[in-house]
């Protein structure tokens, strides 16, 4: 396809312009709309990007606290300080000033002072260079953490504690011999060093909790001689300690004997005083007990008298009861006798009345006398007594005949009921 030079041929260009204008107009409307939509979406998109960037930046400003560490964070605008010990913490550049400090006790060891050939070796009063192992336990003053975060060096042990310790040790060791440091003055030196170092560290916001001396490092040639000297010293010290111990034992024995004698005397005095006190107490008790005993005796006498009177009353009552019972019994017997006499009298009256009636009956019926005689004569004879006019009927009845039938036998008022044998 041949190239077309629009600059050398103006006529075709003039003819092409009318054809391009409708084409641009055809694409201008949708492009303009897309641009406006793009501009509208650009604002929230930019905000979203900014928000994401801010979140990403903040995530890098979040600090995780290591174990055993605490974060002292100061707000540069307000000047307020907070101490964080747990969890993550936000530290914003330009807004916060933060520093990590130990939350636990620091275990320190003065290594530069431990060897005799170290530049910081200690000098004794003999001018001998020695090393001394020293271990310390130090803690931060919790009330001064904001100030300590600004003032403490990065390496607290090397830059703060060890220089203070070295200055105190130089002063103490230079006044003593090696032998004193090994044996007699060791505990005293440690006590003085600990006391002086505690005061100095307190001024810097540190609390000294413990200080211990370890081994003493000596030059080899001096150590051999010192070992022999120490052995001799130890032997003499042992002998001296043995003598002192024996003297102490003798004194203790004497003191024990004296104490035992005094204890016995005190016990005897105490026993005597106790007996006196007991006697006085018994006497005082008897003064209170005797009236009580007297009242008891009087009470018992009154009770015995009352019991005697009661027994007398009971005996009198029993006698009176027996008398009353005897009188009652006599009266009852008298009444029984009177009743019996009355009964006998009544029986006599009844018998008399009966006899009187019988007498009247006999007087009216003389045959009854004969019947009585017959009854007396024999018990085999039965006699029937009948009123007048009745013998015939009675006989007929006994013989089995009909009453009212005529009979030839004369009526006999008294007839035998059976034959005599």
User: Could you tell me which of 100, 129, 125 has the C-alpha nearest to residue 113?
Assistant: 129
Whether the pTM exceeds 0.75: the reply is: no
Q: Mean pLDDT over all residues of the chain?
A: 75
> pLDDT band for position 17 (50/70/90)?
very low
Show Cβ contacts of residue 101 under 8 Å, excluding neighbours closer than 6 positions.
Answer: 69, 70, 71, 72, 140, 145, 148, 149, 152
- The most distant pair of C-alpha atoms in the chain lies apart, rounded to whole Å, by 229
Is pLDDT of 265 > 70?
yes
pLDDT tens-digit profile of 183-196?
Answer: 778 899 999 999 99
Confidence (pLDDT) at 298: 87
CB 99 within 8 A of CB 70: no
| Residue 217, pLDDT above cutoff 60 | yes
124 contacts 173 by C-beta, under 8 angstroms: yes
31 has a pLDDT exceeding 90: no
Q: Which helix (H) or strand (E) holds 98?
A: strand 96-102
Q: What pLDDT, on a 0 to 100 scale, did the predictor assign at position 168?
A: 93
The pLDDT of residue 55 is above 50 = no
CA 352 from centroid of its chain's CA atoms: 109
Q: Look at residue 167 in the predicted model and tell me its pLDDT.
A: 93
pLDDT at 321: 85
Region of 137 please: left (phi>0), alpha (psi -120 to 50) or beta. beta
Neighbours of 272 (CB within 10 A): 10
- Confidence tier at 34 by pLDDT (50, 70, 90): low
pLDDT in tens, 374-399: 666 656 556 565 566 555 555 555 55
pLDDT number for residue 14: 40
Residue 47 has pLDDT above 60, yes or no: no
Q: How far is residue 240's CA from residue 234's CA, in Å, rounded to a whole number?
A: 9
pLDDT higher than threshold 50 for residue 416: no
What mean pLDDT is predicted for residues 243-250?
85
Looking at residue 290, what is its pLDDT? Answer: 77
User: Residue 68's pLDDT is what?
Assistant: 77
Residue 414 contacts by C-beta under 8 Å, 6 or more apart in sequence? 367, 370, 371, 383, 384, 385
């Amino acid at each position: 396809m041949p190239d077309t030079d629009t600059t050398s041929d103006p006529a075709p260009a003039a003819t092409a312009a009318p054809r391009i204008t409708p084409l641009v107009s055809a694409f201008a409307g949708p492009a303009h709309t897309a641009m406006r939509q793009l501009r509208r979406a650009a604002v929230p998109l930019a905000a979203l990007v900014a928000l994401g960037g801010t979140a990403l930046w903040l995530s890098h400003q979040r600090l995780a606290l290591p174990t055993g560490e605490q974060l002292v964070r100061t707000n540069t605008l307000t000047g307020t300080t907070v101490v964080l010990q747990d969890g993550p913490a936000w530290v914003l550049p330009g807004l916060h000033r933060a520093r990590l400090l130990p939350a636990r006790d620091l275990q320190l060891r003065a290594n530069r002072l431990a060897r005799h050939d170290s530049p910081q070796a200690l000098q004794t009063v003999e001018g001998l260079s020695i090393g001394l192992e020293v271990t310390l336990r130090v803690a931060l003053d919790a009330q001064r953490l904001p100030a300590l975060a600004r003032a403490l060096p990065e390496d607290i042990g090397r830059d703060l504690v060890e220089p203070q310790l070295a200055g105190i040790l130089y002063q103490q060791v230079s006044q003593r011999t090696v032998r004193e440091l090994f044996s007699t003055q060791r505990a005293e030196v440690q006590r003085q060093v600990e006391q002086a170092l505690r005061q100095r560290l307190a001024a810097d916001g540190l609390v000294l909790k413990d200080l211990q001396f370890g081994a003493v490092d000596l030059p080899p040639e001096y150590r051999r001689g010192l070992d022999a000297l120490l052995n001799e010293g130890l032997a003499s010290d042992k002998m001296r300690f043995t003598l002192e111990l024996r003297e102490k034992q003798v004194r203790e024995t004497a003191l024990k004997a004296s104490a035992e004698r005094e204890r016995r005397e005190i016990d005897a005095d105490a026993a005597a005083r106790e007996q006196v006190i007991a006697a006085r107490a018994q006497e005082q008790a008897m003064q209170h007990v005797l009236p009580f005993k007297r009242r008891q005796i009087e009470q018992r006498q009154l009770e015995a008298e009352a019991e005697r009177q009661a027994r007398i009353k009971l005996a009198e009552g029993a006698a009176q009861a027996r008398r009353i019972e005897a009188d009652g019994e006599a009266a009852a017997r008298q009444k029984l006798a009177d009743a019996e006499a009355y009964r006998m009298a009544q029986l006599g009256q009844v018998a008399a009345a009966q006899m009187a009636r019988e007498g009247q009956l006999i007087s009216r019926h003389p045959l009854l006398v004969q019947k009585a005689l017959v009854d007396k004569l024999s018990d085999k004879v039965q006699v029937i007594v009948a009123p007048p006019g009745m013998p015939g009927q009675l006989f007929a009845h006994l013989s089995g005949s009909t009453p009212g039938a005529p009979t030839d036998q004369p009526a006999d008022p008294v007839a035998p009921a059976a034959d005599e044998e």
